Structure 1
């Protein structure tokens, strides 16, 4: 990398570090996609690959090999990709781009225990190295249930598919959940580490690929106005919310027994918290970012009374988007006695000099009022207000809100004088929206992350240390809820679909003299 350390620090991560005007383009490479029949592959991975090719960010000889238990030929797989691209790609469909990309498509039928299929996969990759010039560089994308991760990576090792020769690379990509507790996460990490070196394992958290999430770092460290007040002297508390207006859909087989805390809080929301709370890294290399995030996660503390500082619920029937919807226990495949939570809220502290005494409230739920993900930093009230009491009745606390989705941007709420002869103060907001400020379109998260895999650029991928620290935070809460279920003391509280969660979540904040923001 050329340039001074300062230039490297502030380089656009979407651009070539040698020349920030140029996009980063992957070198000779290919990808093997396990689980090609799943929703994730069809709706996210395949369209993202096409969009990258359409933007000129993939090499001309890029190859994509599908692996599944289907009696398909190469052209059948190509048709599956074609249909997925036409339906879900962000960029326009261009026939010349499609033809070049489709020339590198291959399909290998078989299941995860089929030695002959993995032998066929090895021969297919060797043929692509010769025919497409992929240079022995291949990423194995495991878009499959985590229980099969160990089986697949073991087969890759036994058939020589994970072996890296001089000048080439092999990488593995895994999707969440990264285990269901600390013990299973460690077991998963061990099985991956036995086959692939740490730097070749990419754990995808698609939230970390979102432009607005990355903008948290830009906002904090590129502007002198925020960092001096980004501490317990000025911040009252932080709320991190991921609300969904949909139910579990057809995911009963996955969701029951997993729940809101494991599905979202353990990964997405704790990662957001780490980005908000971390110290400034020395640079934006992967190791520097991870080091600061790990310090935050290691400093997290749980309240003594988990019964008073956590809340969980299950959506009941109600109205969502003007449509009557059924409750969680009426969803197909959900047992009537299920205690899996569809809403979870927790209160955490961070025991370090910057954040001591500042509570972080994290919540996630399904069938809530609307779809929104945001980080709200709520500041303390001014220590002295030299105004008549009646002049500031509507004045609330200053708040900085990072909107992650769907309306990406940033809002600052502050008090301002109402026009007129009297000194009346009222809340106003100043709003920044990505769509209105930049002509460039934001890449979809999977585009950014897949390109990073092919480039071997891992800043946005959590390593196993971060995953294990996250489970250390969440495990005591899950164990507390499990004890409540066993003892019959408490179960998830019902809340009507279309509302903002169970009453216990409101009480959790009310005990601290606070309320949830209404996004």
Structure 2
């Protein structure tokens, strides 16, 4: 909230005219060991997307609240959840991927694949990739790509804002098609970090031979200014009677309404589970959800692929 609404530079471009896509990923290296019974009834969609990822989406997409009191913030988050386009059986196999991890190697150690406790639980997903759309003026036409999974290559929580290209490209190197778009990356785990990628000339060539390269600007928070971890902040807010970061009942209902539309669409369309190797970045089928250059595509390239 502070970065979004406290900086005119960001708020001025925080809409569909300047933003091309938003990627939100919460990846975990842990499996579901000891929680198979729970996952049999919920899966990654209900366990992670319904709360963690949708809350991040709300904070990125919400309109400026009239004040920072709890109800003002919650009211704007609720509007986002209610503006989420319901998933349909006609679109679900194009806009989502379900996955389940198989045996692999995580952190240099071999791990077993997901073992369903019952026959009914064999259709339980440990990985989800979704394309969400928010039907309002600010986010018209902007895909929100949501991804989460167990037994991934690394533990991380990131939000990547990819901006649109400049309207007029005057440089020969790289060509417009091969240029890297501006990106703003919010890394939440394992450590908080902000990175802004711009295009710049890192050398000083002769006039007429100007070549641009991506220039990542690290905006890391100084060590002595590190904030409390998330649960410490929530506990302190609870002690002080500040409910702003706690979810209200109507938010929960709106989130579940959208999640249920995804689950129902999966059932109607018979969306299958795609296997992926533990220690990868998810099923190969998810490339359609996380194309090259997006958060998933970039990480997939570093680790050598999916299942």
Same fold (TM over 0.5): yes
- Counterpart-to-counterpart distance in 2, 1:300 and 1:322: 40
Kindly indicate whether residue 61 of structure 2 is the aligned counterpart of residue 277 of structure 1.
Answer: yes
Gap regions ≥5 residues in structure 1: 1-216
Residues 324-339 of structure 1: pairs in structure 2 closer than 5 A: 324-329=110-115, 333=117, 335=119, 338-339=122-123
Contact 2:87–2:261 under 8 Å retained in 1: no
Do the aligned partners of 1:300 and 1:473 also contact (CA within 8 Å) in 2? yes
Partner residue of 1:430 out of 191, 201, 217: 217
Counterparts of 1:258 and 1:224 in 2: how far apart (Å)? Answer: 41
Pick one of 18, 21, 28 that aligns with 1:237: 21
Pairs aligned (count): 294
Residue deviations 1:187-239 (CA, integer Å, cap 9, x gap): xxxxxxxxxxxxxxxxxxxxxxxxxxxxxx11111111101110000000100
Q: CA RMSD in A?
A: 2.2
Give 1:480 deviation, angstroms.
Answer: 2.0
SS of the aligned residue for 2:224 comes to coil
Q: Distance between the aligned counterparts of 1:334 and 1:388, measured in 2?
A: 59
The normalised TM-score by structure 1 is 0.54
Task: State whether residues 174 and 212 of structure 2, in contact with CA within 8 Å, keep that contact through their aligned partners in structure 1.
Answer: no
**Contact 1:313/1:502, CA 8 A, preserved across alignment:** yes
Higher CA-based Rg: 1
Aligned to 1:300: 84
Call closer, same or farther: CA 1:269–1:420 in 2, change over 3 Å: same
Aligned-partner Cα distance in 2 for 1:336–1:294: 34
Q: Distance between the aligned counterparts of 1:364 and 1:296, measured in 2?
A: 20
Name the residue aligned to 1:479.
264
Q: Which residue of 2 aligns with 1:321?
A: 107
Displacement, 1:407? 1.9
Partner of 1:226, secondary structure, is helix
Aligned partner (choices 492, 501, 504) of residue 273 of structure 2:
492
1:370 aligns to 2:154 (yes or no): yes
Q: Which has the higher helix share?
A: 1
Aligned to 2:243: 458
Aligned partner of 2:126 in structure 1 is 342
What is the match of residue 101 of structure 1? none
Cα-to-partner distance string for 1:487-517 (whole Å, 9 max, x where unaligned): xx4421100111111122112355x996734
1:503 corresponds to 2:287: no
Contact kept, 8 Å, 2:173 with 2:211, in 1: the verdict is no
**Structure-2 residue corresponding to 1:249:** 33
| Structure 1 residue 483: Cα displacement | 3.4
Contact 1:235–1:358 (CA<8 Å) still a contact in 2?
A: yes
Distance in 2, Cα, partners of 1:334 & 1:382: 53
- Please give the alpha-carbon distance, in whole angstroms, between the structure 2 residues aligned to 1:490 and 1:225: 42
Q: Measure the CA separation in 1 of the matches of 2:120 and 2:112.
A: 13
Q: Give the structure 1 partner of residue 303 of structure 2.
A: none
Return the offset for 1:448.
Answer: 2.0
Cα distance in 2, alignment partners of residues 251 and 378 from structure 1:
36
Using the TM superposition, give the Cα deviation of residue 334 of structure 1 relative to its aligned residue in structure 2, in angstroms.
Answer: 6.0
Structure with more relative contact order (C-alpha pairs < 8 Å, separation 6 or more) = 2
- Structure 1 residue ranges, 4+ long, deviating more than 6 angstroms after superposition: 512-515
The verdict on how the C-alpha distance between 1:219 and 1:513 changes in structure 2, with shifts beyond 3 A counting, is closer
Q: Could you report, residue by residue, the CA deviation over 1:321-365 in whole angstroms, capped at 9, with x for unpaired residues?
A: 111111112x7x465961100001111111111111111111110
Kept after mapping to 2: 8 A contact 1:320/1:367: yes
Per-residue Cα deviation, 1:17-48 (whole angstroms, up to 9, x for no partner): xxxxxxxxxxxxxxxxxxxxxxxxxxxxxxxx
1:352 aligns with one of 125, 133, 136:
136
User: Are the counterparts in 2 of residues 315 and 496 from structure 1 also a CA contact under 8 Å?
Assistant: yes
**Aligned equivalent of 2:6, options 222, 227, 239:** 222
Change (3 A) 1:323 1:453: same
* 3-state secondary structure, aligned to 1:350: coil
Deviation at 1:257, TM superposition (A): 2.0
Which residue is 2:255 aligned to?
470
- How far residue 462 of structure 1 moved from its aligned partner, in angstroms, is 0.5
- Stretches of structure 2 lacking an aligned partner (at least 5 in a row): 300-307
Give the Cα separation in 1 of the matches to 2:237 and 2:186: 24
